[in-house]
Amino acid sequence: MTTMRDLIVGPDTPTPPYPILVEGTVVEGFGRGGKQLGIPTANLPSSVVDQALENIPIGVYYGWAQVQDDIVRPMVMSLGWNPYFKNEKRSGEVHIIHEFKEDFYGKNMKVAILAYIRAEKDYTSLEALVEDIQCDIRAAQESLKRAEYAAVQNSSFFNQS
């Protein structure tokens, strides 16, 4: 089964309520992203998910993220309940599109959410979930190439000390 979707998602320029800028300390999640899915995630603290992100729809988003003083990198973020795993608490899981050598629990992460990709889904298999996430990653990479989206990577939000 191959998922076919548009590779460019969202309008030509971020439109309100975007960008949504959040920051928090990376917390431990369920340990599924890297181990079970092969797609490691950095989890936002529940205070950010419950307060700063309470008014945006459940689903998958893309934008930019930065851990500590590392460079700003593209990201996809799942905001929701993760029905395949039957979560009982809403979570914000950021997959930074880069292969890191180590975990960064306890480090500060800044996230600029720029657009919505799709609604959260329940999956019948782990393979279907991973396939959809891979489509999300490709859509984020292509969508972030547009000038107005790319410019956010160099915004003052990421460049403040």
Catalytic amino acids?
93
DSSP 63-82: EEEEETTSPPEEEEEEEE--
Is the bond leading into 83 cis (omega within 30 degrees of zero)? no
Tokens standing for 59?
């689903």
3-state secondary structure of 132: helix
3-state secondary structure of 87: coil
3-state secondary structure of 96: strand
Q: How far apart are CA 64 and CA 138, in angstroms?
A: 14
Q: How far apart are CA 46 and CA 12, in angstroms?
A: 31
